[in-house]
Amino acid sequence: MQRVLRHVPLLQVLLVAVGLGLSGLMFFPGCVDGDTLTSWLDGGRPWGEVHDWQPPFIAFLARFFRFWPFPPAISSFFWMTNLFYWSGVVLTIRRLRGRPALWLLGFVILGLFPSSFAILSQLFKDTMLATVLLLAYGLLVVAETEGRRWAWWSALVGLAFAIGFRHNAVFAVLPLLVWMIQIGRTRLAPKTFAHRCPDRWRQGLAVLLLLALVASPAGLVKRVSVAQSSYPIQQVWAFDLVGISVKANQVYLPDVYQDYQEPSRLKGFYQPKASDLNENPLTLDNLRKLYTPWSVNNVYIFGEGKGLKYLDEPQEVAALRNAWLSTLLHHPLYYLQVRFDLIRHWLGFPRIFEAQACLRAEDPMLDFTVPTNRQVPGFYRFLDRTVFGQGWFYSLVLVVASGLFWLQQQRWPDRCRYLTLSGGLYILSFGIFSGSSEFRFFYWIVVLCGLMGFEALVARTDTAGRG
């Protein structure tokens, strides 16, 4: 059995196929949110007419996936994320081919861990990011343990995809790039210039060069497909200013929102609520209706009150940015209160958003009569009510694992520490740059926790074997 596992790559392909079959049986064609649907529709627009409220890279992929021959065509996203996921799982456990029991156990732990397996039902950009990062991690493990150059370069492509899937993905990618440099220096090219001159500044420059390389595809796609930016960062600034205004009982938003009769370039789902009301939205009474501590969506789309418009012009966005900076400087405590309220809801105190969409047939946000939304099995409704549906649980696991991996560095492989850095920076980025407390932002952390548990298990068995 060991000899077969070591020498027949066909078994690895078969294992990926088994994983795809399980996913398809349980979840196909998946559950689509408004963000992904917007990207899918953008994929049918002419070049130069795509907006960047959602990552243009996903719309770029949608241009090709529209030719997917098996209906519904948008389910091509489902198969893409599942292929990323199961390939990443098989590549991560590839080094255990000579230990059949642990090899199969790793497949079960990583691939079928209920929380991470469940996200495969969600056709979200967060699922795309989490699964492609898992694939890049598996490729880097192969590069590190086997010295495979093809795996190193393929991981670079995977990280380029990750940058394109989320605006803040760079925070999760950066530690993995540092790990890539280490693998390149120690395993793939020990006689390179960087190895002969291991100066920290040169290593930092190498990381920046790799970062520029992986970010260039998404940047190029944005340049050729987006005629004018929609400035997605504006929702974070607007959310903070609305919250600070409510808490301080004084309006701090700029006057650009008083020109509320000017229509926005963003249409459809992004049409602000009550846009037909001839009222000034910049009143404290209206802002109190718009502000919910857990989400920016009520500022624009849902709930009561007259929604703020989306700003189109650079000078308008500049005015919003300047107002945000000025308010942050003069009222830092109110800003921290707004951020704290958002983070505590994100962690689950209390939790507002469910771990997955399509959990309930009565969900008013979803239409189960269309073929792109399938209600997930009932087990996941139960799972959603346990600690596995709570952000604080995964944050706690990350904190505990970080303490173990960093305080006892000699007992754990370097990759474990890079995982904790990836997760920690990614969580920190949401604490600063997010306007919502949706659980889907934890999807990479959920997968990462499974990876850390698996790596800890392998390290412990290796130690026991040597003992």
Same-domain check for residues 67 and 83: yes
Same-domain check for residues 214 and 279: no
Residue 362 has a pLDDT of: 58
Q: Cα separations (Å) of 416 from 109, 187, 453?
A: 17, 17, 10
Q: What is the pTM of this model?
A: 0.92
- Residue 120's pLDDT band, with cuts at 50, 70 and 90, is very high
> Does residue 454 sit within a domain?
no
Same-domain check for residues 246 and 154: no
Mean pLDDT within 22-35: 91
- Residue 197's pLDDT band, with cuts at 50, 70 and 90, is very low
* CA–CA separation, 87 and 20 (whole Å): 10
**Is pLDDT above 70 for 465?**
no
Residue 19 has a pLDDT of: 96
> Does residue 398 sit within a domain?
no
Share of the chain above pLDDT 90, in %: 56
> Does residue 184 sit within a domain?
yes
Residue 260 has a pLDDT of: 64
Alpha-helical (H) ranges within 254-407 are 284-290, 297-300, 314-330, 332-347, 379-384, 391-407
- Residue 232's pLDDT band, with cuts at 50, 70 and 90, is confident
> Does residue 23 sit within a domain?
yes
For helices 414-433 and 332-347, the axis angle rounded to 10 degrees is: 120
Same-domain check for residues 161 and 274: no
> Does residue 404 sit within a domain?
no
CB-based contacts of 34, cutoff 8 Å, min separation 6: 269
CA 295 to chain centre: 17
Same-domain check for residues 242 and 188: no
H or E segment to which residue 80 belongs? helix 76-92
> Does residue 17 sit within a domain?
yes
Beta strand pairing call for 122-123 and 31-32: parallel
**Is pLDDT above 90 for 273?**
no
Same-domain check for residues 252 and 186: no
Residue 420 has a pLDDT of: 96
Query: For residue 32, what is the DSSP state?
Result: E
Mean pLDDT within 276-301: 91
Structure tokens at 361: 């047939």
Q: Out of 26-30, 65-69, 271-275, which region has the weakest mean confidence (pLDDT)?
A: 271-275
Residue 70 has a pLDDT of: 86
Residue 265 has a pLDDT of: 67
**Is pLDDT above 60 for 111?**
yes
Mean pLDDT within 294-299: 93
Smallest CA-to-CA distance from 72 within 363, 373, 364 is with: 373
Mean pLDDT within 438-454: 95
Same-domain check for residues 208 and 294: no
Which of residues 204 and 223 earns the better pLDDT score? 223
Which of residues 123 and 6 earns the better pLDDT score? 123
- Residue 241's pLDDT band, with cuts at 50, 70 and 90, is very high
- Residue 5's pLDDT band, with cuts at 50, 70 and 90, is very low
**Is pLDDT above 80 for 77?**
yes
Residue 7 has a pLDDT of: 46
* CA–CA separation, 14 and 37 (whole Å): 32
Mean pLDDT within 62-72: 90
**Is pLDDT above 60 for 2?**
no
Q: Are 213 and 156 in contact (CB under 8 A)?
A: yes
Share of the chain above pLDDT 70, in %: 88
Which of residues 224 and 30 earns the better pLDDT score? 30
Residue 213 has a pLDDT of: 79
Residue 193 has a pLDDT of: 42
Mean pLDDT within 242-255: 96
> Does residue 422 sit within a domain?
no
Structure tokens at 325: 């900076």
What does the pLDDT look like over 125-157, one tens digit per residue? Answer: 999 999 999 999 999 999 999 989 999 999 999
Which of residues 375 and 271 earns the better pLDDT score? 375
Residue 48 has a pLDDT of: 82
* Average pLDDT taken over every residue of the chain: 87
Residue 423 has a pLDDT of: 97
CB-based contacts of 219, cutoff 8 Å, min separation 6: none
**Is pLDDT above 80 for 96?**
yes
Smallest CA-to-CA distance from 172 within 5, 439, 422, 358 is with: 422
Residue 387 has a pLDDT of: 94
Q: Is 101 exposed, middle or buried (0-12, 13-18, 19+ CB in 10 A)?
A: exposed
Tally helices (H) and strands (E) across the chain. 21, 2
Smallest CA-to-CA distance from 168 within 102, 235, 68 is with: 235
Same-domain check for residues 68 and 135: yes
**Is pLDDT above 70 for 282?**
yes
Which of residues 212 and 448 earns the better pLDDT score? 448
> Does residue 438 sit within a domain?
no
**Is pLDDT above 80 for 240?**
yes
What does the pLDDT look like over 366-406, one tens digit per residue? Answer: 555 555 678 888 889 899 999 999 999 999 999 999 999 99
Same-domain check for residues 155 and 295: no
Residue 192 has a pLDDT of: 47
Amino acid type, 32: V
Same-domain check for residues 250 and 150: no
**362: helix, strand or coil:** coil
Same-domain check for residues 307 and 337: yes
> What's the domain count of the chain?
2
Q: Which domain holds residue 248?
A: 234-344
Mean pLDDT within 76-96: 95
Same-domain check for residues 68 and 149: yes
Q: Are 452 and 401 in contact (CB under 8 A)?
A: yes
